[in-house]
Amino acid sequence: MEQRVDPSPTLQDVAKEAGVSVATASRVLNGSSRTVGKDNVERVLRAAGKLGYAPNLSAQATARGSTKTVALVVSDIADPYFSTLAAGVLEGAEAAGLIVTMAVADRSAERECRIVATLRGYRPHVIIVAGSRLDGPRDALVEELRAYVAAGGRAAVISQPGLPFPTVAIDNAGAAKDLALALADEGYRRFAVIRGPAGLHTSRDRCDGFLAGLRQAGIEVCRVLDTEFTEDGGYAAASRLIAAGLDDVELLFAVTDAMAIGAMRAVRDAGLVPGHDIAVAGFDDIGPATDVSPALTTVRVPLHEMGKRAMDLALSGADPAEVQWMPTQPVLRTSTPTSTPDSVS
Amino acid sequence: MEQRVDPSPTLQDVAKEAGVSVATASRVLNGSSRTVGKDNVERVLRAAGKLGYAPNLSAQATARGSTKTVALVVSDIADPYFSTLAAGVLEGAEAAGLIVTMAVADRSAERECRIVATLRGYRPHVIIVAGSRLDGPRDALVEELRAYVAAGGRAAVISQPGLPFPTVAIDNAGAAKDLALALADEGYRRFAVIRGPAGLHTSRDRCDGFLAGLRQAGIEVCRVLDTEFTEDGGYAAASRLIAAGLDDVELLFAVTDAMAIGAMRAVRDAGLVPGHDIAVAGFDDIGPATDVSPALTTVRVPLHEMGKRAMDLALSGADPAEVQWMPTQPVLRTSTPTSTPDSVS
DNA sequence: GACGTGTTGGAATGCGTTTTCCCCACGCAT
DNA sequence: ATGCGTGGGGAAAACGCATTCCAACACGTC
C-alpha cells in the first residue's frame, strides 16, 4: 500500500484553482490593506477551503521578515511554579495572536543560553526567559539577548531584576520579611529556615528577608539549613533538623513551597504532625500548597499574572530598565495554626 | 538616544566577509554532503563568529521544505497531568534535536482543532495532541490531522485510542478494575465513585472499569456521583455525598487525582479525616498525589514516559493503527489504610 | 468626449536559504 | 598530447509567500 504524499497546497495552487493571480489570492487570504472584488474573494475562499490550504508560516515569515511566535524558556515545565508561569505567558500570547514555542533549560545556565541562541534562529517576535532558579553567571545569556534586541527583537525576563531587559519580578526579600512579621505577630518565636544554594538570588533574598523580619520583631537567633532547591532537598533538610532535635524550633520556613512540602513529608515520616508538632511555611503559593494538609502557609505570588504581564511588557516595547514589581502577600493557613503549637518535648 | 536596529547578519553578509560565495558559506555552516576546502572552512567559520551569525530558521525551513519543530497541543498546561506529559514530550524532542512549539486548547474541542490548523502552518516535523480530557466529536480534528499526514507530516495522539493515528494510551477500564480488586482485597466493601461528564471517555471507562472490578469481587451496590472533571468538581461531589450521610460508604473513588484531592478537601472541611473517617482513592498519580496527606491511593500512570513515547512513535513513522499501551499499576497509600477505617456513625 | 480619480488584477521583485548545475584545475593513465 | 575522473568553487534557480509597481478599467465631471 503506497503512502502517497502530495505536498501541502501552496498559494499558487489556490490561485490557479480560483483562476486568479497569486497576488489576489494572497490579498484575500490575509487581509491586506488592498481591497479585492467581491466575487474574487468568494472564489479564492472556496478554492482555499476545497484544497485545505494552510499558509506556510515559515515562508510567510521570511517574506515578511517577522514572525508571530514568542519563544519561552523555562527551567522545568513539570514544576508547578514554571507551568503556572507558562500558562500565563500562553494566555497572553493567545490574546496577542501569537503562538509560543518553548524549551526547557533543565536548570542549567549553559543550556539556557544555548537554547536562546537556537530560538533566536526563528526570529521570534519576542523572547521571554523565566529562569530565576538558575545559578551561575548570566553574561552569556545577556549577550545573546542583547544581540537579539539589537536586531529588533523584544525580550523580557521574569524574576531576575538586574538584567538589562524589561523585567517582571517580586520583592523576594520584602515579601519574606512580611511573612516573618506576620508569623511573629501570630506568636511564633523560634524559627528555622531551609534555603537553597548560596548562589541562588531567589533563595538568598528570601532567606535574608525572612531573617530581617525576625530581627525587626526582636528575634535574633534562627537556625539556617542549606540544601538543594528541590522538594527532596526540603525533605533532607527537615530530616536533618528533626534528627538533631527540634526542641528549639516552633516553625520551619522553607524558601520554596516545594521545599516546604518536602519538609512536611519529612515531619510526617518522623511520626510528627506538621502544623501541630511543628509549623511549616513556604513561599510561592503553587497549586499543591492549598491541597496538602494542613494547608500550607506561604506567600502568594501571582505566577499566572506574571507570565501574562511579561508578554505585555515585551510587546509594549518597555524600557530595558523597567522592572514591573508584582504584589505579594503572606497567606496564613493551617500549617501555622494561630495558637502556638505545643512543642514536642 | 536612538535605538539603532541593524538586522541580523545574513548568510550573504558572512559570505562577503569571508570572501566566498553564499553557496560555500551555506555548505560549511550546515554540513552539506559536499566538501569544502580547508582554508575556506576556516574563513567562513571565523566570519560567522565575528558577525554573530545565526541562521534564519524560517528561511531554512522554506528552502528545505521541512522544519525541525514539533507541535504539541495540550488542554491545560497548568494541570500537572498535562505538564508532566509535556515534560516527556520536551525531553523526547530534545533528544531528537527538535524544538517544540506548544499551544493550549483550554479543554475545548473546537479550539483544539483551530490550533492544529494554525500549527500546521508551520509545517512541523510532527504534531502531538494530548487532549484526552475533551468532550465532543473529534471529526474536525481527525480531518485536520489527516490532511497533515497526507502532506507528509507525522502525527501522534495521547490517550485517545480509536483515532486513526499512532497512539499511546493506557487501559483505563482495566487499570480501574485492578484498583477496585486491590481495594476489595484490602477489605473495603462499601464504595462510592465520583466521575465526570458522561461524554468523556476517560471518565466513563474508569468508572465502568471500577464497577466491573467491584462486581467481580462480589460487590454489587455502589453510589455514583456525577460532577465536573475538575478538583472543584470533586469537592462539590464529595460535599454532596457527605451531606447525604456516608454511613454506607467506606471508600470514595474519584476518576482523577485532581478530583480526589478536591474530595479530600471536602472531607476535611466537613470536619472529618480522610483516610480515617473515609478512605479516598484517585487515578493518575500526579505529583501532588504523594504530597497530600494522607498520601493518595491511586493508579500510577507513566505520564512522563508517555510523552516521550509519543514522540518516538511519531518519529518512527508508526502504523496509523498502532496503539502503544502503557503499563499502569495500582499504588496503595495511606488514604486507604489497610485496616478498614472506622465508619463514622 | 477628454480628463482626473479610484479601484482592482497581475507581473515582477525580494526575503534568506538550500540545492542543482556548470565550470575549472589538477592529477593520472593512455 | 589527449582523455578522463575528481575535488572544489560559484552562478543561479528554486522554496512559498508578501509587496511594490503598473496597467487596465470604471466612474463621474466639466
Chain B positions in Cβ-Cβ contact with residue A119 (cut-off 8 Å): 99
Asked if residue B123 has pLDDT above 70, the reply is: yes
Query: What average pLDDT does range B132-139 have in this prediction?
Result: 70
Most confident of A14-18, A127-131, B177-181: B177-181
Tell which B residues from 158 to 217 touch A, by Cβ distance under 8 Å: none
Q: Do A123 and B57 lie within an 8 Å CB cutoff?
A: yes
In Å, how far is B132's CA from the nearest CA of chain A?
A: 18
Interatomic CA–C1' length for residue B206 and nucleotide D5, angstroms: 70
**Looking at residue B132, what is its pLDDT?**
66
Question: Do residue B148 and residue B201 come from a single domain?
Answer: no
Whether residue A234 is found in the same domain as residue A222:
yes
Q: What is the mean pLDDT of residues A4-22?
A: 86
Residue B182 phi, psi dihedral angles, 5° rounding: -60, -40
Looking at the structure, tell me whether residues B130 and B241 fall in a common domain: no
Does A285 lie in the same domain as A228? yes
Checking each nucleotide's C1' against the CA of B36, the nearest proves to be D8
A143: nearest CA in chain B? B52
Report chain A's C-alpha Rg in angstroms.
26
In a domain, B61, yes or no: no
User: From CA A73, how far away is CA A103, in angstroms rounded?
Assistant: 5
Is B292–A287 a contact, with Cβ atoms under 8 angstroms apart? no
> What are the pLDDT digits (tens) for A116-149?
999 999 999 999 999 866 666 788 899 999 999 9
Residue B241 has pLDDT above 90, yes or no: yes
Tell me the pLDDT band of A2, cut-offs 50, 70 and 90.
Answer: very low
- Residue B281, domain CATH: 3.40.50.2300
Do A101 and B104 count as a contact with CB atoms less than 8 A apart?
A: no
Residue B321 has pLDDT above 90, yes or no: no
CB neighbour list of residue A138: distance below 8 Å, 6 or more residues apart: A109, A160, A163
Is A122 within 8 Å of chain B by CB? yes
Sheet of B69-74: strand order equals: A323-326, A167-170, A154-158, A126-130, A69-74, A99-104, B99-104, B69-74, B126-130, B154-158, B167-170, B323-326
- Tell which strand C nucleotides have any atom below 7 Å from a protein Cβ: 7-12, 14-20
pLDDT value at B2 more than 70: no
Q: Confirm whether any atom of chain D, the nucleic acid strand, is less than 7 Å from CB of A44.
A: no
3-class SS string, chain B: CCCCCCCCCCHHHHHHHHCCCHHHHHHHHCCCCCCCCHHHHHHHHHHHHHHCCCCCHHHHHHHHCCCCEEEEEECCCCCHHHHHHHHHHHHHHHHCCCEEEEEECCCCHHHHHHHHHHHHCCCCCEEEEECCCCCCCCHHHHHHHHHHHHCCCEEEEECCECECCCEEEECHHHHHHHHHHHHHHCCCCCEEEEECCCCCHHHHHHHHHHHHHHHHCCCCCEEEEECCCCHHHHHHHHHHHHHCCCCCCCEEEECCHHHHHHHHHHHHHCCCCECCCEEEECCECCCHHHHCCCCCEEEECCHHHHHHHHHHHHHCCCCCCCEEEECCEEECCCCCCCCCCCCCC
Q: What is the pLDDT of residue B137?
A: 75
Any CB–CB contact under 8 A between B46 and chain A? no
Question: B interface mutation test: which of A1, A14, A57 has the most B CBs within 10 A?
Answer: A57
pLDDT at A247: 80
* pLDDT > 60? residue B64: yes
The Cα of A247 is separated from the nearest Cα of chain B by a number of Å equal to 24
Residue A131 placed within a domain = yes
Whether B221 and B265 share a structural domain: yes
B256, B79 Cβ separation under 8 angstroms: no
Model pLDDT, residue B344? 43
Per-residue pLDDT, averaged over B315-332, amounts to 94
Tell me the C-alpha distance between A220 and A222, whole Å: 7
A150 near B CB under 8 A: yes
* Chain B residue with the nearest C-alpha to that of A2: B150
- Work out the widest C-alpha separation in chain A, in whole angstroms: 89
Same domain, B156 and B99: yes
Do A198 and A283 fall within a single domain?
yes
* Nearest residue of chain B to residue A286 (CA atoms): B78
- Residue A338: predicted pLDDT: 86
CB contact under 8 A, A123 and B56: yes
Nearest to A69 among B100, B101, B288 (CB): B101
- Say whether both A206 and A287 belong to one domain: yes
Domain-located, residue B336? no
pLDDT digits 0-9 by tens, A245-277:
878 899 999 999 999 999 999 999 999 999 999
Pairwise CA distance, residues A74 & A90, whole Å: 13
pLDDT of residue A132: 65
Single-letter amino acid, residue B194: I
For A339, the 3-state DSSP assignment is coil
d(CA A311, CA A345): 52
Q: Which three cell numbers stand for residue B306?
A: 508517555
Q: Are residues B277 and B314 in the same domain?
A: no
Q: Please check whether residues A257 and A247 belong to one and the same domain.
A: yes
- When pLDDT is averaged across residues A91-101 and rounded to a whole number, the result is 93
Report, as an integer, the average pLDDT of B55-75. Answer: 93
The cell numbers describing B13, all together, are 553578509
Cell of B344: 463514622
Nearest CA distance, B76 vs chain A (angstrom): 8
Cβ–Cβ under 8 Å, residues A306 and A85: yes
Share of chain A above pLDDT 90, in %: 75
pLDDT band at B1 (very low <50, low <70, confident <90, very high): very low
Mean pLDDT of chain A: 91
Q: Which residues of A touch B288 (CB under 8 A)?
A: 287-288, 291-292
Please report, for the domain that includes residue B27, its CATH number: 1.10.260.40
**The amino acid at A100:** V
Each residue of A170-186: pLDDT tens digit?
A: 999 999 999 999 999 99
What cell does A312 get? 505585555
What are the cell numbers at A79?
514544576
Q: Which of B62, B86, B293 sits opposite A268 (nearest CB)?
A: B293
Instruction: Please state, for a pLDDT cut of 70, what percent of chain A lies above it.
Output: 95
Q: Which of A210-214, B28-32, B219-223 holds the top average pLDDT?
A: A210-214
> Which strand D nucleotides have any atom less than 7 A from protein CB atoms?
7-12, 14-20
Q: What is the mean pLDDT of chain B?
A: 91
Distances (CA, A) of A174 to A205, A217, A258: 9, 14, 20
pLDDT band at B261 (very low <50, low <70, confident <90, very high): very high
Residue A343 lies in a domain: no
CB burial of A263-276 (b: ≥16 within 10 Å; e: otherwise) equals bbbbbbebebebbe
Residue B139's pLDDT is what?
87
Whether A123 and B58 have beta carbons less than 8 Å apart is answered as yes
Cell of A289: 500548597
Q: Does residue A331 lie within any of the structural domains?
A: no
What pLDDT does B252 receive?
A: 96
Residue closest to D16, CA→C1'?
A59
Dihedral (CA of B131, B114, B72, B155) sign: positive
Asked if the structure places residue B342 within a domain, the reply is no
Domain range enclosing A107: 66-170+303-326
Q: Is B254 within a domain?
A: yes
Check CB contact of B343 with chain A, cutoff 8 Å: no
Once rounded to an integer, what is the mean pLDDT over residues B308-318? 94
- Best of B51, B57, B73, B146 to disrupt the A interface by mutation (most A CBs within 10 Å)? B57
Q: In this structure, is residue A344 part of a structural domain?
A: no
Other Cβ atoms within 10 Å of A139 Cβ, number: 10
Residue-level pLDDT at B264: 97
Angle of helix B201-216 relative to helix B172-185, nearest 10 degrees, comes to 40
Q: What is the band of A35 on the pLDDT scale with cuts at 50, 70, 90?
A: confident
Q: Is B264 within 8 Å of A293 when comparing Cβ atoms?
A: yes
B51: contact with A, CB 8 A cutoff: no
Alpha helices of chain A — where are they, by DSSP H? 11-18, 22-29, 38-51, 57-64, 80-95, 109-120, 139-150, 172-185, 201-216, 231-243, 257-269, 288-291, 303-315
How many angstroms is C1' of C20 away from CA of A151?
32
Per residue in A260-319, pLDDT (tens digit) is 999 999 999 999 999 999 999 999 999 999 999 899 999 999 999 999 999 999 999 889
Give protein residues whose Cβ lies within 7 A of nucleic acid chain C. A 20-24, 34-37, 40, 59, 62-63, 65; B 7, 10-12, 22-23, 26-27, 29-30, 32, 34, 53, 55-56, 59-60, 62-64
Nucleic strand D within 7 A of Cβ A215: no
Contact: A291, B287; criterion CB under 8 Å: no
C-alpha span between A231 and B211 (Å, rounded):
36
Decide: helix, strand or coil at residue A33: coil
Per the structure, how many domains does chain B have?
3
CB of A66 lies under 7 Å from some atom of strand D:
no
Using pLDDT thresholds of 50, 70 and 90, give the confidence band for residue A340: very low
What pLDDT, on the 0 to 100 scale, is given for residue A341?
Answer: 45
Cβ atoms of B129 and B73 closer than 8 Å: yes
- A86, pLDDT greater than 70: yes
CA B214 to CA B235: how far, in whole Å? Answer: 24
pLDDT-based confidence at residue B343 (cuts at 50, 70, 90) = very low
Contact by Cβ (8 Å): B250, B190:
yes
Q: Taking residues B125-139, what's their average pLDDT? A: 81
Are B164 and B183 contained in the same domain?
A: no
What does the pLDDT read at residue B173? 97
Average pLDDT over residues A190-215: 94
Residues B292, B188 within the same domain? yes
pLDDT higher than 90, residue B217: yes
Cβ–Cβ of B5/A67 closer than 8 Å?
no
Residue B36, CB, strand D, below 7 Å: yes
Of A336-345, B76-85, B137-146, where does mean pLDDT reach its minimum? A336-345
